[in-house]
Amino acid sequence: MINIAIIGGGPNGMYFLNGIYSLLKNRNDQPVSISLFDNYGNFGSGWAHSPNQAKTSMLNRIVGQLSFAPDGTNTEHTLLPACPRITFSDWLQRKYRETHDQRYKKSADEFPTRELYGESLCEIFRELVSDLQDAGVEVKLLTENVVSVTKTGERRYQVVTEKNTIPDAFDLVMLATGHQESHDNFTLAPVLKKHIEYHNFAYPLFDVPEWKSKRIGVIGMGLTAIDTLLYYTENKGGTFYREDGQLRYRPSGNEPKRLFALSRSGYFTYSRPHNLKEVDLAKYEHTGYFYTRALVDALRDRLGSPAHTESSRDNHRHQLDFDVHVFPVLMLELQLCYYRILFGPELLRAMVEKSVPLVDAFIAGHNQHNRQKETAIAWLTRAVESIAHEAVFKVSRFLHEGIASTIEGIPIETLVNRYIEVLYGKQPSSELSTFEAAQQALARPSPWGHSSAPEAHLFNWDFIVDPITHMDFPTSTPWRERLLSFMKWDRLQSEQGNLDNPYKGACDDVFRDLRQTVVYAVDFGGITPASYNRMLKDFYAVHNRAANGNCIELMEKTEALITADIIDVTYAKANIQIDNDVVWLHSLSDPGAFTTLDVMIDAKLHNFDIKKAKNPLFANLVEQGIASYWVHKDCHGVEVALSGFNITREFQFINSHGKKERVFCVGQPSEGIMFFQNGSIRPNVNHHVANDILSCLNAVNRELLDLAISESTNKKPSLTLP
């Protein structure tokens, strides 16, 4: 009997289970037993996507970007057969045919609720368990919280839960534990919880005792915070309605006395644009003009600094500085994508051509262009910025005076036609000249709130980071009004979509489409520890805010809740103080504003950190010697701040003696040595989550084959694996 334990019943646990099924379905007579452990018993969905949660929580990914297993596009690991399981879109179509229930009638570009996706995960999970059982595999589902794994003999393991020690000895253990709570995640948590009702983790969403009489501060203004705010408003019976074209909120009377949204930046995540790329991914997905894996390899070879000799074995031997080597190239990509959308592909080609020698010089070796962040950005973008300024000048002259000219051999009318289309939409064909058609368009306001002045459309990274400081407001304008004004403008940009809006499209192209190339540079100690820490604090925060936000629908609801004075953003950027055992918020955006709180909820997902994790499982794995810490140091001995597991590139644990264990992990437990590991599989794009699962299963495959051979004395192995 081969015994396998999967710890975590959510999507990653199901991906593991599906992979094991692919490996085992060709077996002959080797008995196999699989035990799945989940703290909440949410097998298939996990708590994050539980079908029992509030219907107000939505995913920030569209229907067409969700799948349940790897597919034929995952070509990196071809030893395993592609899974025939349907996508989420297929499942919805199937359910609608069976039930004619409108809740299942969703197009590929709609954003679903978490509970609906959770329903699909649970159903697919049950089908998968049935398939395994039909194949003769024993499957046990255990609603228990695993707190430790111990070794029993040579490479066998015992699972310990809060309730008892599972009597079975397991040959393989797989961690798919998902998001974890950390002790005192918020910096001020140790102090705050002595003076206020403090809740360290928002999920699963819960009722604060006697919430209607309390003033609740919500730490964070991202996806989790918005889930929390809607839980205490719409979920409590409040309704949204439209009046004079504006969405408004009608309270139910069950809301808290006051809700306060708090964050370091003072901003909610920006709205996610309509995704218009799904019609032709091969055409519209951005693959990088310069920022590619080949460029990362060249940068590492020529500019990387030596890693410390104590760094983990699978780490890169040379480290890049994210701020100096990676970020400047991303800035070049952002500008190229931005101006392609604003002025068209003809100008893009000229910008790329003029940038080639600059990039070549940048990666040639250590020189004055790649020693400082600001210098590197200025060097790499100098051609783009020069051409952009010339384009803005000539487009502006044409719009004002009708003066024809060329730029890089391109008639200025070509740029004007694209510029007018971006600002006002595709223009109907007419007998008018380009100048006459442009004047006609300029006479009306842009449906997306664009300024008609070309000078207002020069790319500005600082605007992405902190847009309100670059918007015109009277000095006395409260932060609430400034934020609402920006959120409305931002929503209009998203409504234009990711193909025709310069800012939304550029952020989508670089932050989303090139995300895995960024990960390629970062994984396995690919950047220096110091720049890794800065990347998490600065770049990653802006990345999440600008390109990983919520759908237009939820952001418009958030606007309505602020307008209705249900959510108070006066203290979004707050100085938190304790005076006479009372927690005070002191606004840093509206001078002279003070208020008090009764409750605080940390509504941010916590970074994975073994030493801070609330569940002792992770620290116990290290203490037992089954796992070891990832070591990431630079040549000066500077070390990364977070504590993560030391794993191979196939997600297999390295023990305290430097040897491989039959223990594996995917998702959040691999964070640290790997980057951006939280997410669901996306179909038809060779998705990294699917490739990670397949990579891990390659190692599982070898271990299972080794087990089969070792248990067959003088016989042909009874387990046949592809």
Q: What is the pLDDT of residue 29?
A: 63
CA 319 to chain centre: 24
- For residue 82, the model assigns a pLDDT of 54
- Beta carbons of 567 and 229 less than 8 angstroms apart: yes
Contact in structure between 526 and 319 (CB atoms under 8 Å): yes
Q: What pLDDT is stored for residue 535 in this prediction?
A: 92
* Amino acid making up residue 427: Q
What percentage of the chain exceeds 90 in pLDDT?
87
Gyration radius from the chain CA atoms: 27
The pLDDT tens digits of the residues spanning 545-562 come to: 999 999 999 999 999 999
Q: What is the predicted pLDDT for the residue at 721?
A: 38
The band of 720, judged by pLDDT with boundaries at 50, 70 and 90, is very low
Please report the DSSP string for 305-374 in residue order.
EEBPTTS-TTS-SEEB-IIIIIHHHHHHHHHHHHHHHHH-HHHHHHHHHHHHHHHHHHHSSS-TTSSSHH
Comparing 293 with 707, the larger pLDDT belongs to 293
For the stretch 439-488, pLDDT in tens is 999 999 999 999 999 999 999 999 999 999 999 999 999 999 999 999 99
Alpha carbons 464 and 476: distance in angstroms, whole number: 23
Cβ burial 636-673 (10 Å sphere, 16+ → b, else e): eeebbebbbbbbbebbbbbbeeeebbbbbbbbbbbbbb
pLDDT band at 154 (very low <50, low <70, confident <90, very high): confident
Helix H, strand E, coil C: the string for 362-419 is: HHCCCCCCCCCHHHHHHHHCHHHHHHHHHHHHHHHHHHHHCCCCEECCEEHHHHHHHH
Distance CA 377, CA 373 (A): 6
The half-sphere exposure of 486 on its side-chain side, counting CA atoms within 13 A, is: 23
C-alpha span between 520 and 630 (Å, rounded): 18
The pTM (predicted TM-score) of the whole model is 0.94
Confidence of residue 428 (pLDDT cuts 50, 70, 90): confident
Q: Answer whether 362's CB lies under 8 Å from 380's CB.
A: yes
> Candidates 1.10.260.40, 3.30.1490.100, 3.40.605.10, 3.50.50.60; correct CATH number of 189-269+551-602?
3.50.50.60
> pLDDT, tens digit, for every residue of 170-213?
999 999 999 999 999 999 999 999 999 999 999 999 999 999 99
- For the domain covering 2-182+607-710, report its CATH number: 3.50.50.60
pLDDT at 722: 38
Location of each CATH 3.50.50.60 domain in the chain: 2-182+607-710, 189-269+551-602
Q: Average pLDDT for residues 363-375, to the nearest whole number? A: 95
**DSSP string computed for 599-626:** EEEE-SPPPP-TTTBSSTHHHHHHHTTS
Sheet holding 165-170, edge to edge: 146-151, 157-161, 165-170
